[in-house]
């Protein structure tokens, strides 16, 4: 399967084809990507006392090849501003957030040497709060079935003092908000770092907006997150979190392209298929010239948000495929079935992000 990227001779945005055929999309980036055989997004996980097999989009229980959990460095949490080692540590924290309570606590305390760790779960939202003597990490879990999540995703919004945000993302955050505030209230004086992959990144984004002026947020690092707000939302983040919010996108990951009408915030690090940064040269040129990015600036490497028509066709195709899966006795859409609808769905895997960030961090 090949994905053709639009060049200077292409006219108009890419479109999703009729739902009677597999859905395809292309991002307006300056690379061409060719995919071979579909790659299994999740793996069977058995961790702690939970012996049930589960398939997840974000992580695997065993250490990643070349990127073991020991690559988390608590000293990196003290770094001011952006740091690749911090990005790696928080990506590993995002990965750990997919695990059960026993695994989360034992890893944070015994492997990473953190002082405390509190596991929080309510409804379908899962996260943990872990602290060192110098900083606090709040990591939110992402989606466990990308196909099902996209099929159920809508674009409904609600208004907050800082802008218009996705109603479902806010609701998912609010079920753990009071517990998080309770634990963070006992850790005053320490900077807080927020992180998450996929939906977890959107929850970290909303947390930073909801807690503005109440909790000392020193950094937000997200990986493959959907857009979370619109209206005054981007301006709010440009005013309050400039130089603090760092958002990673891996190649043609579908999730940063949804939901329609929403916009992204934060500084973008957009990896290409080889691990290069698509907007790296432009960013370096601006920094050397001492020129800041304007508030409404959108990088050429910013993944284009799907239109409402494109999004509806994508959801229809996924829902149709899910109905077939359930007719076959499957509870959810598994990765190979989604790969037939969404090209490069494997780009959403958190281990793909971790591998590229690890290289940049010199690990």
What is the per-residue pLDDT across 153-177, written as a single tens digit (0 to 9) for each?
999 999 999 999 999 999 999 999 9
Domains of the chain: 70-360 (3.40.50.1820)
Please list, residue by residue across 216-250, b when 16 or more beta carbons sit within 10 angstroms of its beta carbon and e when fewer do.
ebbbbbbbbbbbbbbbebbebbbeebeebbbbbbb
CA angle 316, 318, 324 (to 5 degrees): 105
Count of other CB atoms within 10 angstroms of residue 309: 11
> Where do we find the tokens 């690090």?
269
What DSSP string describes 323-336?
HHHHHTT-SS--HH
Distance, CA of 139 to CA of 195 (rounded, Å): 5
Q: 322, 147 in Cβ contact below 8 A?
A: yes
Count of other CB atoms within 10 angstroms of residue 194: 29
The closest of 255, 154, 266, 249 to 208, measured between CA atoms, is 266
Strands (E), 202-341: 217-223, 229-230, 245-250, 267-271
Q: 30, 5 in Cβ contact below 8 A?
A: yes
pLDDT at residue 292 in the model: 55
pLDDT at residue 11 in the model: 32
Q: Tell me the pTM.
A: 0.80
Pairing state between β 267-271 and 245-250 = parallel
Tens of pLDDT along the chain (363 residues)? Answer: 333 333 333 333 333 334 344 444 444 433 333 333 333 233 333 333 333 333 344 443 344 445 788 899 999 999 889 999 999 999 999 999 999 999 999 999 999 999 999 999 999 999 999 999 999 999 999 988 887 788 889 999 999 999 999 999 999 999 999 999 999 998 888 999 999 999 999 999 999 999 999 999 999 999 999 999 999 999 999 999 999 999 999 999 999 999 999 999 999 999 999 999 887 766 666 556 666 555 555 555 688 999 999 999 988 988 888 787 777 776 665 555 666 677 678 899 999 999 999 999 998
CA 189 to chain centre: 28
pLDDT at residue 346 in the model: 87
Q: 281, 328 in Cβ contact below 8 A?
A: no
pLDDT at residue 278 in the model: 82
CA angle 42, 43, 49 (to 5 degrees): 120
Please list, residue by residue across 319-354, b when 16 or more beta carbons sit within 10 angstroms of its beta carbon and e when fewer do.
bebbeebeeeeeebbbbebbbebbbbbbbbbbbbbb
> Where do we find the tokens 């020129």?
291
Q: Which residues contact 345 (CB under 8 A, 6 or more apart)?
A: 41, 146, 254, 335, 338, 339
Could you read off the pLDDT of 181-238 as tens digits, one per residue? 999 998 888 999 999 999 999 999 999 999 999 999 999 999 999 999 999 999 999 9
Distance, CA of 277 to CA of 82 (rounded, Å): 15
pLDDT at residue 323 in the model: 83
Distance, CA of 66 to CA of 178 (rounded, Å): 38
Q: Which H or E run includes 192?
A: strand 192-197
pLDDT at residue 28 in the model: 40
């Amino acid at each position: 399967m090949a994905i053709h990227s639009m060049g200077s001779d292409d006219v108009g945005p890419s479109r999703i084809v009729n739902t009677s055929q597999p859905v395809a999309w292309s991002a307006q980036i300056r690379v061409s990507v060719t995919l071979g055989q579909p790659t299994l997004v999740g793996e069977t996980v058995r961790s702690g006392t939970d012996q049930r097999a589960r398939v997840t989009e974000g992580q695997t229980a065993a250490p990643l090849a070349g990127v073991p959990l020991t690559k988390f460095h608590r000293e990196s949490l003290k770094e001011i501003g952006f740091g690749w080692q911090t990005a790696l540590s928080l990506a590993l924290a995002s990965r750990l957030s997919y695990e059960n309570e026993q695994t989360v606590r034992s890893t944070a305390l015994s492997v990473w040497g953190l002082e405390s760790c509190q596991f929080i779960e309510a409804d379908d939202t899962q996260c943990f709060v872990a602290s060192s003597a110098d900083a606090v990490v709040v990591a939110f879990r992402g989606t466990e079935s990308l196909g099902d999540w996209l099929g159920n995703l809508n674009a409904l919004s609600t208004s907050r003092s800082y802008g218009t945000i996705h109603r479902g993302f806010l609701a998912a955050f609010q079920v753990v908000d009071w517990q998080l505030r309770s634990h963070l209230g006992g850790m005053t004086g320490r900077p807080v770092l927020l992180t998450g992959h996929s939906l977890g990144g959107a929850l970290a984004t909303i947390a930073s907006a909801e807690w503005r002026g109440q909790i000392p947020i020193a950094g937000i690092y997200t990986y493959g997150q959907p857009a979370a707000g619109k209206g005054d939302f981007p301006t709010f983040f440009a005013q309050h979190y400039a130089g603090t919010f760092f958002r990673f996108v891996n190649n043609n990951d579908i999730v940063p392209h949804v939901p329609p009408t929403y916009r992204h915030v934060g500084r973008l690090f957009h990896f290409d298929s080889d691990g290069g940064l698509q907007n790296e040269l432009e960013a370096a040129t601006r920094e050397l010239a001492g020129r800041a990015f304007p508030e409404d600036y959108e990088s050429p490497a910013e993944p284009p948000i799907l239109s409402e028509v494109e999004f509806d066709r994508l959801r229809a195709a996924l829902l149709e495929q899910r109905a077939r899966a359930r007719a076959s006795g499957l509870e959810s859409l598994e990765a190979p079935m989604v790969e037939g609808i969404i090209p490069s769905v494997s780009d959403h895997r958190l281990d793909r992000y971790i591998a590229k960030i690890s290289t940049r961090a010199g690990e």
